[in-house]
Structure 1
Amino acid sequence: MIEDEELLAALRPEWAAECDALAAATDAASAQRVLARLRSMADAMGFAAPFPEPDAPFETLVAAAPALRGVLAPQTAQPSPARVLVVDDSRTIRRLLRGILDGAEGLELVGEAADGQEGLRLMAEHRPDLILLDLEMPVMDGMGFLAEWALAGTGAVVVVSSAAPPGSPAALEALRRGAFCCVSKPSGALSPDLADRAGVEIVAACRRAMTR
């Protein structure tokens, strides 16, 4: 493959036009003429391309156009997924959140903590982009975590707690302490519809937090 990006940029329009001409060819003779021009370009520039066999049927010649076009298509870098830390004392909720994150494109779980103190340690270790935080936990609760996070924390915080439904005093206090938003857990830790009902809301909150 050519490594000179300026040369690639100059070559792409002509290469793409020839690939379009190949796709639009109406007979084997015209398709072979286009392929000959494409082969000459590839040979001159020194890169390989998935050319069909010269004696291939007409349908095969024309069908090669998309793959040939992709040879010089600009490469789009895939953004790195947002790294997420979960801080929640409930093993069940952590498991359910893990499942939600596993099924969400662009979000990657990097750690789980069972209380705020452990959450601070993992935050310093992993430097997450996003933290899903419960409020009611032993050792150090969510409000205590937010107080420490505000001083030297990383990432945005989305509170996921049944103790802080949106608009409640606890939710307003969490927002005052720097949380991006609060999302309620479904009623009952064993609610079977978490992934369907609350999962959509949690993922949406994560995406909003990462694009703020």
Structure 2
Amino acid sequence: MSLDPEILAFFLPEWEEAAARLAAAPDEAAQRRALDALGALASGAEIASLKAALRALEPLPEVFGAPATAAALTAHARAVVEAGEDLPFAADPAAPLAAPASAPVIRTLVVDDSAMMRRLVRESLSADPAFAVVAEAADGREALARIADEAPDLIMLDIEMPVLDGLGVLRDWALRGTGAVVVVSSAAVPGGEVAAEARRLGACTVVGKPSGAFSPDLGERQGEAIRRAARKAAGLPVEGAV
């Protein structure tokens, strides 16, 4: 689609300036400010490929290669301006942030009403470079929106949540969702009725989590179980779990 040449004339210098701030950002807060500025510019110029690339960077992964990412975004912006129309990315825009290009990157959604539990699950997965958490949700309705927006390869799903519980998410996901589901819940005891229903609805496997959302032993004692379940659901060798 052709883009407005007058807008593009103003767009590129501002984009390059914001990308330079991203490359030089000393901390996560500065990175997020730079990404917000880039997002506003991409939206204002109606460049869908750049908007999609920026969405792929949220939330920020544990190790964020800001200079490489800024360079990739700027190179694409220059190509778009030169062409005068939007262009597809030649490569995954998130590649500078995550695993090497030769490694599979499983785009993952983490769903839990506890912010602490979402962080703990995210940190468990961050130990394995095959996974990149691209979105999080705090309830079932938000989870369905993220599934529609992100089309994740893998969903790490809690059961007991407000608004819509995990079984409700699974029922909708079974009709129109993408990817695979691993249930991570203290309510779905393996072999129990809830776990059986989750499996009937299509969940690949069920992993228990510590009683109490703020238990600190998830990463230490159950992180490996979560990674193994995630690798199995994603079709990766389980024996290669980190």
TM-score by length of 2: 0.55
Amino acid aligned to 2:197: E
- 2:218 aligned residue: 194
- 1:175 aligned residue: 199
8 Å CA contact 2:171–2:201 kept in 1: the answer is yes
Amino acid aligned to 1:176: R
Deviation at 1:155?
A: 0.6
Distance 1:209 1:166 in 2: 16
Out of 174-183 and 76-85, give the one that drifted further: 76-85
Is 1:89–2:113 an aligned residue pair?
yes
Is 1:79–2:103 an aligned residue pair?
yes
- Per-residue CA distance 1:93-143 (angstroms, 9 max, x = gap): 011112112222201000000011100110111110000000000111001
Deviation at 1:188?
A: 2.2
For residue 153 of structure 1, the aligned residue among 174, 177, 181 is 177
For residue 136 of structure 1, the aligned residue among 144, 151, 160 is 160
**What are the within-5 Å matches in structure 2 for residues 109-124 of structure 1?**
109-124=133-148
8 Å CA contact 2:125–2:226 kept in 1: the answer is no
- 2:10 aligned residue: none
- 1:162 aligned residue: 186
Amino acid aligned to 2:208: S
- 2:24 aligned residue: none
TM-score by length of 1: 0.62
Amino acid aligned to 1:171: A
- 2:132 aligned residue: 108
Instruction: Using the aligned pairs only, state the percent identity.
Output: 55
Structure 2 spans left out of the alignment, 5+ residues: 1-99, 237-242
Amino acid aligned to 1:107: F
**What are the within-5 Å matches in structure 2 for residues 25-104 of structure 1?**
78-104=102-128
Distance 1:193 1:143 in 2: 26
8 Å CA contact 2:189–2:208 kept in 1: the answer is yes
Deviation at 1:152?
A: 0.6
Deviation at 1:187?
A: 2.1
3-state secondary structure, aligned to 1:122: helix
Distance 1:158 1:174 in 2: 9
Distance 1:134 1:82 in 2: 19
User: Where has structure 1 moved over 6 Å in runs of 4 or more?
Assistant: none
Distance 1:113 1:92 in 2: 12
- 2:89 aligned residue: none
Distance 2:166 2:103 in 1: 30
Aligned residues: 137
Deviation at 1:77?
A: 6.0
Amino acid aligned to 1:152: R
